[in-house]
Chains A and B, each alone.
Chain A
Amino acid sequence: MSTPPDQQRREESAGLMEYSTESLVPFGPIHPALKEPEYFKLILEGERIVNVIPRIGYVHRGLEKAAESRPWVQNMYMFERTCGICSFVHSLCYGQAVEELTLYQVPRRAKYIRTIIAEMERIHSHLLWVGLMGHWAGFDTLFMWVWNDREVVLDLVEAIAGNRVHKSMNAICGVRRDMPENMTDRILERMKFLTDRARYYREVIDTEETMLKRTENLGRVSAETAEKLCAVGPMARYVGLKHDVRLNDPYAAYDEVPLDVITSNEGDVHALLKLRLDELIVSANIVSYAVKNLPDGPVRVKVPPIIPAGEHASHCEAPRGEIFYYVKSTGGRTPDRVKSRQPTMANIPTALEMLKGQTLADIPIVLTAIDPCFGCMDRMSFYDTETNKKWTWSGEQLRQYGINYYFPERAKQQRKFARQMGSSVNESLREAL
């Protein structure tokens, strides 16, 4: 007589448990307030990650389909809202694809203004990222300082575009607002300030114990692997690949401004930090040059609402890497098809390679290192296959675990502090400590 299926399954799984030393840690998936949440199934052996299985598509918003029912100009505002950090470059890339179909030329002054805004956006995005890296490494002072300096560039963007994040600056064949008068000196002064600050942060990152301990020799990927997995943006440049759309296929005014493409051969997270700060200095130089050499002329050409039939693809270098837009028109008021590809999507395979071989404590910092566009770190649950015990960690607890793993003395002090503070310290935080 055969055993009942339930019992058979139980026996099978019991047998598996005996031999398996691997444990499964589901990581993610969703934080409703953020875009692009992701789910990573981590397979750990002890403390080390041996394999990562991603699952994407949790917040599929149907932007591409929505674009098919909206007029050409209105789509520009919708695609600007793809991302809350690098918003301008999305509308720029979509706009460029449409402009190629219209046969109108973008005025030279508009190209310069686009370059200025795009580079300011890169500066603010990189500063934001450096701050976040400081936060996850347990160096919150750096986070505060960097975000304070980020206000400088955001104020400039606000003075030019009227808003800090969603600039609504782009139009098809031009920009909607000219540069304000008498801004040149202010911009040059602020860019010099930001260059000095970037140099200072580079020194801090190079010498500070906290950052060195958390980022050195972490997330190593070989150049061949990164190239094979199609890494884009800083993720390709930190292993020595000279991939930059601004250099390889110049758009806007990038063929006229001085552009250095920074690459690094170290290939760890520490190199990524230095690379992004160096890129920030290059961006500040580009802004200074473009402001000084701003050509005269109109900033916009009026385009009829009907775009001629045809198709075109356009790509741009967003702060996180290459973005890509494909546009197809049948000669109507709305596009027939729009396709967009964002850099985080291209960088996920490389991120998985970076995660392999790292410890559980390094997950937040390695995932932040790719400058992801998702907020999956706010929920993490554990499942112990031997004792059938389940428990959950929030993002804050995971961060604390990471800090404690590397700085046990500091954890001891914090535990002491928590005891002294008594009930005023969050219960869950005390558990993590």
Chain B
Amino acid sequence: MPTRKVGAVIPEMFRHMLEKPTTEAYPFKPIQLTERFRGKLDIDPAKCTGCQVCSLVCPASVITMVDLGTRKVGDRELKVRRPLFDLTSCIFCGECVDNCAFNALELSKQFEIATPNKADLLMNKAVVK
């Protein structure tokens, strides 16, 4: 049978009273992010070749490939495709970044992406039109 007393919590209580608040002063001070933090996706359109690997591996079906006509390489006509990212359903897993062979994608440290306009979260719009 354990002994009943109140004493165990009292020193701890005083310690916490003298400490500064443990919560982050977030909107007033910028928050400290870790090195590996995964935020909003960034794409470098110049490096993207439209190989569509990212759209195949995405678990949340964020990426759709859009046809942009054709281009001629030698005698052959090749389709030109570019990805369109719908970040409203992105889960920030980084699978597309890992699988991009041309280093066109990266996850930035930006996490304040809430917006009243859904179209703001469509990425690569400028390329796709």
Contact surface of A with B, Cβ cutoff 8 Å: 70-71, 73-74, 76-78, 81, 141, 145, 148, 151, 155, 158-163, 166, 168, 176-177, 180, 200, 203-204, 206-209, 212
Contacts and interface: CB of A to CB of B under 8 A. Distances in A.
B9 A163 contact: no
Interface residues of B, number: 27
Main secondary structure of the interface of A (DSSP, over half): helix
Contacts of A180: 35-36
Interface in B22-48: 22, 34-38
B36 A162 contact: yes
A155 B36 CA distance: 12
Interface in B73-124: 91-95, 98
A73 B58 CA distance: 9
Contacts of A151: 22
B8 interface: yes
A148 B21 CA distance: 11
Contacts of A76: 59
A159 B16 contact: no
Given A78-B59, A162-B36, A162-B37, A212 B4 contact: yes
Contacts, number: 73
Main secondary structure of the interface of B (DSSP, over half): loop
Which among A73, A151, A163, A204 has the highest number of chain B CB atoms within 10 Å?
A: A163
A208 B34 contact: no
21 contacts: A71-B57, A78-B59, A81-B91, A141-B13, A148-B22, A158-B37, A162-B34, A162-B36, A163-B37, A163-B38, A166-B91, A168-B91, A168-B94, A168-B95, A177-B36, A180-B36, A200-B12, A203-B8, A207-B4, A207-B7, A208-B8
B5 interface: yes
Given A162-B36, A177-B36, 16 more contacts: A73-B59, A76-B59, A77-B93, A81-B91, A148-B22, A159-B35, A161-B36, A166-B91, A168-B92, A168-B94, A180-B35, A180-B36, A200-B8, A207-B4, A207-B5, A212-B4
Nearest to A162: B36
A21 B57 CA distance: 61
Contacts of A155: 34
B129 to A, nearest CB: 29
A81 B2 CA distance: 41
Interface of B: 2-9, 12-13, 16, 22, 34-38, 57-60, 91-95, 98
B105 to A, nearest CB: 15
B4 A158 contact: no
A74 B95 CA distance: 9
Contacts of B98: 176
A73 B57 contact: yes
Nearest to B5: A207
A182 to B, nearest CB: 11
A208 B13 CA distance: 14
Contacts of A163: 37-38, 92
Which among B7, B9, B16 has the highest number of chain A CB atoms within 10 Å?
A: B9
Given A151-B22, A163-B38, A209-B4, A73 B12 contact: no
B43 to A, nearest CB: 19
A206 B2 contact: yes
B12 to A, nearest CB: 7
Given A70-B59, A209-B4, A204 B35 contact: no
Nearest to B13: A141
A337 to B, nearest CB: 19
Which among B3, B6, B34, B94 has the highest number of chain A CB atoms within 10 Å?
A: B34
A209 B36 contact: no
A162 B2 contact: no
B37 A209 contact: no
Given A77-B59, A77-B95, A163-B92, A208 B6 contact: yes
Contacts of A158: 34, 36-37
